[in-house]
Amino acid sequence: MLEVKGLEFSYGEFTISGVTFSVGKGEVAVLLGPNGSGKTTILKAIYGLLKPRARCVYVDGADFHSLPFRRRSQLAGYVPQSHHPPFPYRVIDVVVTGFAPRLGLFQSPGRGHYEKALEKLRLLGIERLAERPYTHLSGGQLQLVLIARALVQEPQVLLLDEPTAHLDFKNQLRVLSTVRRLAKASGVAVLMTLHDPNLAAAYSDKIIVVKDGRVVAVGAPRDVIKDDIIREVYGVSVKVLEVDGRVVVLPHD
């Protein structure tokens, strides 16, 4: 389980204040809010790329930020919002780089590392890409390879920053459905940032609505995707409907 208790962080005039929530094993949670609301900052502070004011992140009860780097990399995997591959490495080699925190200074990955990397590609349904150059992938394929790289450590927590950014509709659905399936199959706690309330409602178990660095609401999609909450956070008038058991947000003049 991932627990965040009163996360505080500031840079310039922007402040993240009192962010508190939890994500259980096998649960998919979404930090939802408009651009500039603080979602990515919160995610980076949880992972430790930014330093909160005080200790506030716990994984299975352990103070995450006080752990050695290697142990943290084993407990949590992080997938950034965007990545531009500089060289045409094979996909399998890119995934194997996820083992770097476990290898010694002069140690090279062995056969077992490559077998485990292929296993993760297979889990995500993209093992056919193993020998393909990393620079020849579509946006959706690239995101899945980055997820595979994060998974080789077999983390208990997976953090994804806008995994659907720059993807077309088909690949958005593909990546999010794969993430959800992965969470249920492996028991990993998933926390990702999104700005689309419809995608958040369709693929999450819990939504943490964020505005101006603070949490506005936390709960199941049907409990937080409400007309008044969306209006407050996004500044637009909407109508929330239920279709086939799911909430759907539509613009409403």
- How much is the pLDDT for 208? 97
How do the domains of the chain map onto residue ranges?
A: 2-222
Could you read off the pLDDT of 73-96 as tens digits, one per residue? 889 999 987 667 777 889 999 999
Residues of the chain with pLDDT under 50: none
Q: Which CATH code is given to the segment(s) 2-222?
A: 3.40.50.300
Q: Identify the pLDDT of residue 114.
A: 92
**pLDDT for 137:** 87
Query: Residue 105: its pLDDT value, please?
Result: 62
Dig out the tokens for 70 from the structure.
């290697």
Residue 68 CB partners (closer than 8 Å, separation 6+): none
What one-character-per-residue DSSP string does 55-73 give?
--EEETTEEGGGS-HHHHH
Instruction: Give the integer Cα–Cα distance in Å for 197 and 191.
Output: 15
0.85 exceeded by pTM: yes
